[in-house]
Amino acid sequence: MPADKVAEYADGLCYTDLMAGYYLGASDEVLQAIADFSAWFFVWDDRHDRDVVHDRATAWRQLRFRLHAALDAPTAHLHHEDPLVAGLADSVGRLYSFLPGTWNARFARHFHAVIEAYDQEFRNRVEGRIPTVDEYLALRRLTFAHWIWTDLLEPSAGCELPDAVRKHPAYRRAALLSQEFAAWYNDLCSLPKEIAGDEVHNLGISLITHEGMTLEEAVDEVRRRVEECISEFLAVEKDVLRLADRLADGTVHGKQLGTAVRDCVENMRNWFSSVYWFHHESGRYMVDSWDDRSTPPYVDNEAAGEK
């Protein structure tokens, strides 16, 4: 974004507000790092979109490799010529400072997969290929970074959760539902923009193309899935809270772990309200006010990253 567009649009996009409503209880340092990473993620998403629209395959491939490298060695990329690469290095470098190396390695592994999913999306869009519903749902879990936002619950709670907790069926299901809600509600709100831009990645578009639904039927189906995420989360949340109670076994460690799990599931719940608010307050989705419904007015079409 050019400086004048930053001044005009940045606050209205509400990127950091979204994170502030999700990671309640995090220290100021942790919350600032997560908020900066979130803002970076949205900018990366827009760069990716412009590279597709302008058929900048070389620029995208170069950026993809640089992001992988910055994720593995953030310190070495803090002053990279591409501010998007430097921004990732700065963000993850701070995120890596809060919890042990095992958490850092997991976060990096999850984000490497997100970068590769964006590459798959790039190829699908260039080829005009609309994935089937099942293909789309699997890809969306990566491009929306489900497990990244779930990982970030832990530094917010000040505690790395052991595998036995993170992989517990109730905890994992609650985390997945909070993210599925967010991804599918995003699809619902961004559908007008993405249809206008001949997009291929949206649950509604996959339902129309592969399930033979009308636009109205597809909207109803996405809404139904969103509502099911809410009702199912409310049921499984109780199981996670019971897990937290069992973990608090009277020991100091048990109390700490039980409190962390309770904090994490409470913030999963916050994701629903924060995402709902964001999509109705952020200028990112107010397509009716744009001159071109397919292109946000704050996007810079310069060939960034091709130098």
End-to-end CA distance of the chain: 17
Residue 129 designated active-site: no
Rounded distance between C-alpha atoms, residue 157 and residue 161, angstroms: 10
272 is catalytic: no
Q: Which amino acid, 151?
A: D
Burial 31-50 (b: 16+ CB within 10 A, else e): bebbbbbbbbbebbebbbbb
Q: Which one from 42, 173, 223, 293 is the annotated catalytic residue?
A: 42
DSSP three-state, residue 31: helix
Q: Which tokens sit at 86?
A: 């430097």
State yes or no: is 41 an active-site residue: yes
Q: CA 153 to CA 268: how far, in whole Å?
A: 8
Catalytic site residue 144?
A: yes
The DSSP-derived string for 232-301 is: HHHHHHHHHHHHHHHH--SSHHHHHHHHHHHHHHHHHHHHHHHHHHHHHH-GGG-GGGSSSTTS-TT---
Distance, CA of 204 to CA of 187 (rounded, Å): 7
Confirm if 22 and 274 have CB atoms less than 8 A apart: yes
Q: Which member of 122, 144, 181, 233 is catalytic? A: 144
Residue from 41, 111, 181, 272 carrying the catalytic annotation:
41
Question: Which one of 47, 125, 262, 284 is the catalytic residue?
Answer: 284
- Provide the annotated active-site residues: 41-42, 144, 284
